Amino acid sequence: MPKQVDPVARRNDVVDALFRVVFRDGLQRASLRAVADEAGLNIGSLRHYFANQQELMRFAMQAMLDRVGDRLLRRIDDIGDMNALTSEQRRRLPMDLLSELLPLDENRRTEAAVFIDFVTAARTHPAIDAELAHKTAAGTRALVRRVLIRMRDMGTLRPGLHIDTETERLSSLLDGLSLNAVLHPGILGPQGCVEVLQAHLDGLTG
């Protein structure tokens, strides 16, 4: 009797294989055949799930967004009732959430590296969905804005700060930290990312 294959799990396996190829060899080498070889599949089996490279790239980029979003939701669930937080927990809350967007471990570093390749290529590569790249940038800013508003509502944000300006400043800092940590890990490591982000957040609290 043929072995039953879970199509959702198989697609996720293919996405993981794509991430490994892109992280190791770059986006330009992430052909369907290279991804199929990495996933241990023949090209015909891979085409059963993704008809072409554009479909695979679009699915992979959305999967990355979903994974980051799921981690953030789990963080929020772990926090529980915001009103029951101690002053120390309130102070740590922005770092706990925003650190999910930084390459602080192997998994997040791979995601960040692949994401950088994706958004860079989205400007000219026909297989990359530029709309998803824009959606990602907008989603990051929406999250940062929500964190800043939460800080304001909890009374930890320094009075007089302009939310829109601080949203862009903090979003740009996160983008810059991720980019440099991926491109120059010998110069900026995880601890450095944490220290810079914490210093910025401390400045926001006054």
The CA distance from 83 to 99, in Å, is 22
Q: Is the pLDDT of residue 63 over 50?
A: yes
Q: Per residue, what are the HEC states of 16-37?
A: HHHHHHHHHHCHHHCCHHHHHH
Nearest alpha carbon to residue 99 among 90, 108, 91, 89: 108
Q: Given CA atoms 94, 96, 101, 105 in this order, what sign does their dihedral have?
A: positive
Mean pLDDT of 135-153: 89
How confident is the model at residue 178, as a pLDDT?
A: 96
Mean pLDDT of 108-129: 82
How confident is the model at residue 69, as a pLDDT?
A: 82
Q: What stretch(es) of the chain map to CATH 1.10.357.10?
A: 53-205
Q: Is the pLDDT of residue 183 over 90?
A: yes
Q: What stretch(es) of the chain map to CATH 1.10.10.60?
A: 1-51
All residues at 6 or more sequence positions from 132 whose CB lies less than 8 Å from its CB, including other chains: 58, 61, 62, 65, 122
Mean pLDDT of 121-146: 81
Query: pTM higher than 0.75 for the full model?
Result: yes
Q: Is the pLDDT of residue 2 over 50?
A: no
Nearest alpha carbon to residue 143 among 62, 64, 76: 76
Angle at 96 between CA 197 and CA 160, to 5 degrees: 60
CATH fold of 1-51, please?
Arc Repressor Mutant, subunit A (1.10.10)
More confident residue, 201 or 11: 201
Task: Report which DSSP code applies to 119.
Answer: H
Mean pLDDT of 41-70: 87
Domain spanning 53-205, CATH class = mainly alpha
Mean pLDDT of 127-137: 77
Instruction: Taking each helix axis as running N to C, give the angle between helix 106-121 and helix 163-183, from 0 to 180 degrees, rounded to the nearest 10.
Output: 100
High-pLDDT (> 70) share of the chain, %: 94
Q: Which two tokens stand for residue 78?
A: 């772990």
Split at pLDDT 50, 70, 90, the class of 193 is very high
Query: What is the length of the chain?
Result: 206
- For 186, counting Cβ atoms within 10 Å of its Cβ (0-12 exposed, 13-18 middle, 19+ buried), the class is exposed
